Structure 1
């Protein structure tokens, strides 16, 4: 049964955040978790409800069946890098307060492994499918939806990053025409190296 895609809403927070988090739990934990104080998903909820930036509800899509959200993700180009950075800075300052500088440093460290996308490239991110429905083709539908959006926008290339610890996801992306361009090694604790993948639109 095909998914129906729509723009996310603030009321999707409970369904969308676990899916977004599942797209890169190690990286999210490295950047945003404060052991004994708050989890990465606590910050992601805060940022999602703020609406702006790459974590906000306005930038996300959800895929539904029978009114149940089963997939989520976002896609954007390098043209928004500065705006996203400013929005993330505001959200981090508002949420972490005095701990914000350390969070920002960790975010910059992650950007050496998962780099901001180039201009004129549709970058797919935060791709998540409900665990109980994986293997049913929902991930392919989610990616196809974003590729269609990129073609409609006239962009020439699509790209994404995948953890070397997630070979199942890489195999899916390869079936959909993506190929590895570069592997960026990680020396960060708990964060695997990532592979940057591209395909023409």
Structure 2
């Protein structure tokens, strides 16, 4: 079942945000959920609609099957780290207001486990496929589409992070040529260790 890929649009928020969230629910919950007040997807919807930064619609691609969004993901490099940090800070302040400082602190803690990528590296993130269609090759199509963007941009290395608690995803990435470079231990509640993987383009 071949997908059709296109840049995301603001109207994709309802379909895309659950897919983005599915790429790392434990990490997103740790950073952005406040029990009794909001869940992580509430913030992701806000940030997606803003358009800017690593969570914004302008940075994402979606894959459609028969006109329905069933896959989503993004790519960026270390050259965007500062801009993404500033955009995330603005979005956190805009959404959480006076409660922003604990959210920023948790985000910085996560960055010790899921680190910002180096320069001249095509970093794949927020990779999600509709649950009922997983195992049908859609994830491979999504990754191949994003890798092609890196090749056209002249980048020589691709990378991503995978949770040690997600062996199926790691097995997919290994089939596509990614290899574990380092495992970063987590001491955060409900957040597993993460493995940084790379492959040449």
Normalised-by-shorter TM-score class = over 0.9
How far off its partner does 1:159 sit?
0.1
Aligned twin of 2:192? 192
1:90-148 residue CA offsets vs partner (Å, 9 max, x unmatched):
00000001110100000000000000000000000000000000000000000000110
The separation in 1 between residues aligned to 2:93 and 2:99, in whole angstroms, is 8
Q: Does 1:48 align with 2:48?
A: yes
1:148-171 residue CA offsets vs partner (Å, 9 max, x unmatched):
000000001000000000000000
* Matched positions, count: 201
The separation in 1 between residues aligned to 2:46 and 2:68, in whole angstroms, is 22
How far off its partner does 1:24 sit?
0.1
The separation in 2 between residues aligned to 1:153 and 1:71, in whole angstroms, is 22
Aligned twin of 1:8? 8
Aligned twin of 1:147? 147
Q: Does 1:85 align with 2:85?
A: yes
What aligned pairs does 1:96-115 form with structure 2 within 5 A after superposition? Answer: 96-115=96-115
Aligned twin of 1:164? 164
The separation in 2 between residues aligned to 1:76 and 1:4, in whole angstroms, is 21
What secondary structure does 2:49 align onto?
helix
How far off its partner does 1:193 sit?
0.4
Aligned twin of 1:119? 119
TM-score in terms of structure 2 length: 1.00
Aligned twin of 2:181? 181
Aligned twin of 1:134? 134
What secondary structure does 1:11 align onto?
helix
What secondary structure does 2:192 align onto?
coil
How far off its partner does 1:187 sit?
0.1
Unaligned runs of 5+ in 2: none
What secondary structure does 1:199 align onto?
strand
The separation in 2 between residues aligned to 1:70 and 1:94, in whole angstroms, is 29
The separation in 2 between residues aligned to 1:12 and 1:98, in whole angstroms, is 29
